[in-house]
Amino acid sequence: MIAEESVCVEENLVYDRPKTLIDTTMHYCPGCGHGVAHRLIAEVIDELGIQDKTIGVAPVGCSVFAYNYLDIDMSEAAHGRATAVATGIKRMLPDKYVFSYQGDGDLAAIGTGETIHTCNRGENILIIFINNGIYGMTGGQMAPTTLVGMKSTTSPEGRIPELMGNPLKITELIAQLPGVYYCTRVAVNTPNNVRKAKKAILKGFQYQDHKKGLCFVEIVSNCPSNWKMTPVEANKWLEENMLPFYPLGDLKVPEIEGGK
């Protein structure tokens, strides 16, 4: 009887935990996009069959414990330095699939130098950039990506551009660099966007085989805790406020996809 039931479950299985995603409780807050992004990375690695050929680099930020969730080789990096570490790993082990996984504070503030130069050098890695418009781990300070008028602990009246500068569209900057092979912006706020995000991550890994430069996938995400919203409110706010400023879509695609 038990055996019959388990066969039945297997036959009708439409959704399961990817092998690469470790069966454990994540520390992420309920509704946080980091969990969705992790799952997508794990699904892609499973589908490509590259679990033992992939090396991830996660620096400081809420995703600092990514190595507890992804069952692959992973390295830590100091705040902002993930792409420098990923560069070293890829150059020593060019047959491995190497990616960094970085927040906006990490990638676009303390790590701006590493980010720009890694992209400009055209390192053959994938950068996954989680843009939630705030410093999540440290309690919600303003990030370079914080929108005009958006409240944070260091911009309690909302971001004032005259005082605090404008939000930085670092992905648009990156896309112009000759070393960048593929650059796109996706989001994880709706099922449809999640599916598109997975495709972008898939390409980011596959294009490493072309050895023609760097792949950059920005994932517009949320931070319900520091945005002080429920997960549902946060995803609605993302749609109405983040996406008009950070529009989704490809910024640079390889020739095989119609790019120049």
Ligand X SMILES: Cc1ncc(C[n+]2csc(CCOP(=O)(O)OP(=O)(O)O)c2C)c(N)n1
Candidate segments 27-35, 72-80, 91-99, 104-112, binder of ligand SF4 by CB under 6 A: 27-35
Contacts of 16-19 with CB under 8 Å at 24 or more apart are 18/42, 18/43, 18/45, 18/46, 19/46, 19/51, 19/71
Interacting positions 40-69 with ligand SF4 (CB under 6 A): 62
Contact 128, 104 (CB under 8 A): no
x/- map, 206-225, ligand X, by CB under 6 A? -----------------x--
Contact 235, 223 (CB under 8 A): no
List Cβ neighbours of 138 (8 Å cut-off, separation of 6 or more).
105
Taking the CB of residue 61, how many other CB atoms lie within 10 A of it? Answer: 24
Q: Out of 63, 83, 87, 208, which residue is the one contacting ligand X (CB under 6 A)?
A: 63
Q: Is the dihedral of CA 60, 66, 67, 73 positive or negative?
A: negative
Partner interacting with residue 204 (select from ligand X, ligand SF4, none; CB below 5-8 Å by kind): none
x/- map, 19-58, ligand X, by CB under 6 A? ----------------------------------------
> Which of 102, 45, 43, 37 has the alpha carbon at shortest distance from 72?
45
Q: Cβ 131 to ligand SF4, closest distance in Å?
A: 11
Nearest to ligand X of 31, 103 (CB atom): 103
Nearest to ligand SF4 of 136, 167 (CB atom): 136
**Which residues of this protein are in contact with ligand X, per CB under 6 A?**
60-63, 79, 103-106, 110, 130, 132, 134-138, 143, 223
The footprint of ligand SF4 (CB under 6 A) covers 28-29, 32, 34, 62, 132, 136-137, 223-226
